[in-house]
């Protein structure tokens, strides 16, 4: 993607969705952290179904700990890898209580020190909860970075660094959400919906099949 195309690419996405937000449901920074931790290799829809039952009962580190591992598993067993996620979440809650006064830390280093929290999860929390201009590269953003030519890279970290470098500052805080939503609903993995894509004029990708009508 040419540098001159990047600003209109994001201006178009912004015009369609001026205030993008994550599709994970949460009402506090801790709830967001839990939801993102549970969302690894799972859909936001499945996570939301589970947390709608979990959060009314336990929405603080202390309350999660009070559930115990088996109690927590009962709420999240419909989510993939729920046993390991329950274990990590219990360990994370313990660290939050013992080291951070029950609060979610605002630094990347402290977030990534929590069990089950990797760079992507930390970036989501820093961006969505604290408004920092970070780029959480999931499968959708990795695909879009390469397919569109916006930020080609062989690893998520390489794509992340290129995105942070190429995206104009005025779009950076919201870019993570725009790209994820675009990848989830338009720029699909197997068959991108190029004929209904508003940013197709700026994209490097050439559809390999005839477009409808």
pLDDT for res 161: 97
Alpha helices in 43-190 (DSSP H): 44-54, 61-76, 82-100, 108-112, 119-128, 139-147, 156-166, 169-185
pLDDT for res 206: 82
Q: Do domains 3-20+134-202 and 29-128 have the same CATH topology?
A: no
Task: Choose the catalytic residue: 14, 85, 120, 208.
Answer: 120
Domain 3-20+134-202: CATH class, spelled out: mainly alpha
Mean pLDDT by 10 residues, the chain (213 residues): 96 96 94 95 93 97 96 95 95 97 95 94 94 93 97 97 96 95 95 95 81 53
User: What are the residue ranges spanned by the domains of the chain?
Assistant: 3-20+134-202, 29-128
Comparing C-alpha atoms, which of 149, 178, 176, 151 is closest to residue 166? 151
Measured distance CA(126)–CA(120) in Å, rounded: 10
Comparing C-alpha atoms, which of 113, 132, 167 is closest to residue 29? 132
Contact present, 92 and 37 (Cβ < 8 Å): yes
pLDDT for res 1: 94
Measured distance CA(193)–CA(206) in Å, rounded: 11
pLDDT for res 208: 64
- Going by the DSSP 8-state scheme, the letter that residue 59 receives in this structure is -
29-128 maps to which CATH number? 1.10.340.30
Task: Choose the catalytic residue: 138, 154, 162, 174.
Answer: 138
Q: Catalytic: 120?
A: yes
């Amino acid at each position: 993607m040419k540098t001159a195309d990047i600003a209109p690419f994001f201006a178009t996405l912004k015009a369609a969705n001026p205030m993008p937000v994550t599709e994970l449901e949460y009402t506090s920074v801790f709830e967001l952290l839990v939801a993102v931790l549970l969302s690894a290799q799972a859909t936001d829809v499945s996570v939301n179904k589970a947390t709608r039952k979990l959060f009314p009962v336990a929405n603080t580190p202390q309350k999660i700990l009070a559930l115990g591992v088996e109690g927590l598993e009962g709420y999240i067993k419909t989510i993939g890898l729920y046993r390991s996620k329950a274990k990590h979440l219990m360990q994370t809650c313990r660290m939050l209580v013992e080291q951070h006064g029950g609060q979610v830390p605002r630094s990347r280093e402290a977030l990534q020190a929590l069990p089950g929290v990797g760079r992507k999860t930390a970036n989501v929390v820093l961006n969505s909860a604290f408004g920092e201009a970070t780029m959480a590269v999931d499968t959708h953003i990795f695909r879009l970075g390469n397919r569109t030519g916006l930020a080609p890279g062989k690893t998520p970290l390489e794509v992340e660094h290129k995105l942070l470098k190429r995206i104009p500052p005025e779009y950076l805080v919201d870019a993570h959400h725009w790209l994820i939503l675009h990848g989830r609903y338009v720029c699909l993995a197997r068959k991108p919906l190029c004929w209904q894509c508003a940013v197709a004029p700026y994209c490097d990708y050439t559809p390999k099949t005839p477009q409808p009508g």
